[in-house]
Chain A
Amino acid sequence: MRSHPAIFFSGDFHPAFFQPFPRVFFRIVCVFSMLSAFSSAGARAQTVEATTIGGYGELHYNDADGSPRGSLDFHRLVLYVGHTFDEELSFYSEIELEHTRIEAGADEGGEIAIEQAYLDWRFAGTTGLRAGIVLIPVGFINEHHEPPTFNGVERPNVDKTIIPTTWREAGLGLYGKFGEGVSFQAYLVAGLEAPGFSGSGGIRGGRQEGFRSDPVNPSFTGRVDWFADPSVRIGTSCFVGNTTGGNAAMGSGTLLLWSGDVHFTSGGLSLRGTGAVEFLSDASKINDAMRDGTGALTTMIADRMYGYYLEAAYDVLPLVAPGTTRSLSLFGRYEKYNTQAAVTGFVTDPRNDRNEITVGATFKPTYNTAFKLDYQFLNNAADLNSNMLNAGIGFFFN
């Protein structure tokens, strides 16, 4: 039975591991609100409301070696809709159509989904409260995924498999700054559901995405960024919560995801790195609870998963066209990820221990448009390797 969403306000949380935490978090939110009520007294309001729109999209061509031909897919078209209610309150949303269409009765097709939809109440300077469907602030790509902002036609696979972008959940939380140069985000959100996990896909299938989300696994997610300089951004983020919905046979299934990311730019050089590790308690209980009628394992969920990538890019266009406002970045990226790094009760599948190299180019006529071309070497520990040619366009506007 699903609990009513009002559980976020009741303090009646389950299971035991997390019982004290949401209450504390909720009270912190309330204290901030109370402080704001006093600090804002006597101020004047902005009365003009305004609605803004924007969006982004990307068309992909993927051609795997050995396949008779490639395929063209308009992967995403996303519409931003925002509204400003007053000086402090605003709404922001992203509505996504994936793979161009959805068709009743069709075996294959896209989806329409809400990627973000939240009220943002910036109640004290740079500090605010956000409530609705929010992006989980883990890793970098999950929050900043407009196609011209990253190299490669496809997002890094670490940012699909280990950090399951675009990861969003219903919840609420705070954001703000600690002095100058350090910012934070902290949310209480509906958690993941362990029955959706898998040995090859990791936690990706456990996302609820705000679709009749069951809040029985309230989870904490947070992020801290340090901006040492406009050229350097260092972030660390986490997601922690139970995943079994109180199913005693599965245990608590507590997931801890810890991630870090670094960005550095200097002249035409850009370096990026992201890493994440996930620990799941009671993975063997979850696997046992999901055995089929014959007693065979249907899932091979791991106790530990991890992934990382390093990317270097250099904008070569100014070398041949000084003063240009366009860019042509040549890049290379190495990824390593394993969705069965440690397991209990079964033998790992070496196909899940993967390493990949992507080399390519991104031409940007403007900062918000991109033409991309890359080639990927997709390898795994089973030596079942493949290569992929990708081309695409991407854009965003606001």
Chain B
Amino acid sequence: MKSHFIVVLFVALFQVRADGEGTPAPGPVPANVAESLRDTFGDSVKIVPVNIVLTDSEKAVIGRISTSPFADDTLRIFTCGSADTVAGYGILDNVMGKSRFITFLLSVGPDGAVAGVDILVYRESHGGEISNSAFRRQFIGRKAGDPMTPGRDIRTISGATISSRAVTAGVSKLLAAFALTRGRIR
């Protein structure tokens, strides 16, 4: 029996999974991205991935607006809607937690306001409570430039302060990037 358990542990150790993180767009829409966007904008929306490559000057502006540097060159956007209307947009990004990346999806309505925030992959061993809807709901309705000071405008979670702040900074950064590049989304 003992050897059986050890064999099972080894089998399980060699299984790995990574849903939706690091997928370059355009390309297939990751399943968890599609699921989140359809939860927000409706089951019938068509999701089209769009790559927006940021210029250095755009990244500098985003950094000033959000006080959070934009390390990546590419903004990974997913346009949601039908042939003639846009229901909203999704923006996929990573932010650094205490020691590992947190993959999250920001959903933005046509008015530029946050429609939802979803934590797609949380890799840290502590602080996963930022996935709770009570925390994520705080962002809904906020737009680029709105105050989002952690601990004041956004309540951080006790024991998950770093993750709470990281996601708050990430949302602020993506809203600024979206506002700046929206005209380039086709």
Contacts and interface: CB of A to CB of B under 8 A. Distances in A.
Contact of A230 (B121, B128, B135): B135
Contact of B15 (A40, A265, A325): A40
Given A87-B123, A126-B122, A230 B18 contact: no
Interface stretch (A159-167, A175-183, A281-289, A290-298): A175-183
Contact of A367 (B5, B6, B9, B150): B150
Nearest to B165: A367
Contacts of B122: 126
A229 B158 CA distance: 10
Contacts, number: 141
A324 to B, nearest CB: 9
Interface residues of B, number: 47
Contacts of A121: 13
Contact of B17 (A10, A87, A228): A87
B159 A26 contact: no
Contacts of A323: 147
A200 interface: no
Contacts of A86: 16, 18
A86 B159 CA distance: 25
Given A87-B21, A318-B152, A183 B129 contact: yes
Given A27-B5, A92-B125, A43 B16 contact: yes
A123 interface: yes
A90 B126 CA distance: 13
Interface stretch (A28-36, A66-74, A203-211, A374-382): A28-36
Interface in B88-119: 96-100
B8 A37 contact: yes
Given A126-B128, A183-B128, A88 B16 contact: yes
Contacts of B159: 140, 143-144, 225, 233, 263
Nearest to B6: A9
A122 interface: yes
Interface string B129-140: 101111100100
B181 interface: no
Interface in A345-394: 367
Contacts of A143: 126, 159
A227 B129 contact: yes
B151 interface: yes
Interface in B7-45: 8-9, 11-13, 15-19, 21-22
B126 A84 contact: no
Given A26-B5, A87-B21, A120-B125, A398 B138 contact: no
A398 to B, nearest CB: 5
Name A's interface SS: mixed
- Using C-beta atoms within 8 Å of the partner chain, give the interface range for chain A: 35 or more
A332 interface: no
A30 B126 contact: no
Contacts of B11: 34, 37
B149 interface: yes
Contacts of A175: 125
| Most interface-central of B6, B149, B158 (chain A CB within 10 A) | B158
B68 interface: no
B99 A398 contact: yes
21 contacts: A11-B2, A33-B13, A43-B19, A44-B16, A44-B18, A46-B18, A54-B98, A54-B99, A82-B100, A86-B18, A90-B123, A143-B159, A175-B125, A227-B132, A227-B157, A230-B157, A265-B155, A323-B147, A325-B149, A367-B165, A398-B99
Interface of B: 2, 5-6, 8-9, 11-13, 15-19, 21-22, 96-100, 121-123, 125-126, 128-129, 131-135, 138, 147, 149-152, 155-159, 161-162, 164-165
Interface of A: 9-11, 26-27, 30, 33-34, 36-37, 40-41, 43-46, 48, 52, 54, 80, 82, 84, 86-90, 92, 120-123, 126, 128, 130, 140, 143-144, 149, 175, 177, 180-181, 183, 225, 227-231, 233, 263, 265, 318, 323, 325, 327, 367, 398
Given A90-B125, A233-B157, 9 more contacts: A36-B12, A36-B15, A44-B17, A54-B98, A54-B99, A82-B98, A183-B128, A233-B159, A325-B152
Closest 7 CB pairs of A and B: A43-B17, A82-B99, A40-B15, A87-B18, A230-B155, A45-B16, A37-B12
